[in-house]
């Protein structure tokens, strides 16, 4: 769907489309073998401009997994460091609790 087609949809239809996209991403992530769930890639252009010169990155993802990253040609390879990788929000976490409120 192009941006123009998306913008022509009503607000409710846009919400349904985005919800379906999120569900599709979750299904695709779950279909990935467990070892590969540990890794994800960001293109360099999606990294904040002031952080592009960094070699190593330390932080977390949207599901509260600890992450480390290394800049490679064209982007950053991130590794989720949790023993058990989470691919969805969990209600026990204060950060994720906003989604369950």
pTM of the model as a whole: 0.57
Query: In terms of domains, do 39 and 26 share one?
Result: no
The count of C-alpha atoms lying within 13 angstroms of the C-alpha of 69, restricted to the half-sphere facing its C-beta, is: 25
User: Is the model's pLDDT at 24 over the cut of 80?
Assistant: no
Tokens representing residue 65 in the block: 């997994």
Are 17 and 65 within one domain?
A: no
Per-residue pLDDT tens over the stretch 54-95: 899 998 888 888 999 999 998 999 999 988 888 777 777 777
Residue 83 DSSP code: S
Same domain assignment for residues 72 and 87: yes
Domain enclosing residue 19, as ranges: 1-31
* DSSP labels, 11-80: HHHHHHHHHHHHHHHHHHHHHS-HHHHTEEEEEGGGS-GGGTT-SEEEEE-TT--EEEEEEETTEEEEEE
pLDDT of residue 69: 93
Residue 100 has pLDDT above 60, yes or no: no
pLDDT(46) > 90: no
Percent of the chain scored above 70 by pLDDT?
Answer: 84
Number of folded domains in the chain? 2
């Amino acid at each position: 769907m192009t941006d123009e087609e998306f913008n022509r949809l009503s607000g409710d239809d846009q919400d349904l489309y985005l919800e379906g996209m999120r569900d599709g991403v979750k299904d695709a992530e779950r279909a990935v073998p467990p070892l590969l769930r540990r890794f994800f890639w960001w293109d360099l252009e999606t990294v904040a401009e002031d952080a592009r010169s960094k070699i190593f990155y330390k932080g977390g993802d949207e599901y509260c997994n600890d992450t480390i990253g290394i800049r490679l040609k064209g982007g950053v390879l991130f590794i989720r460091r949790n023993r058990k990788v989470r691919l969805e929000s969990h209600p026990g976490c204060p950060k994720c609790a906003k989604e369950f409120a």
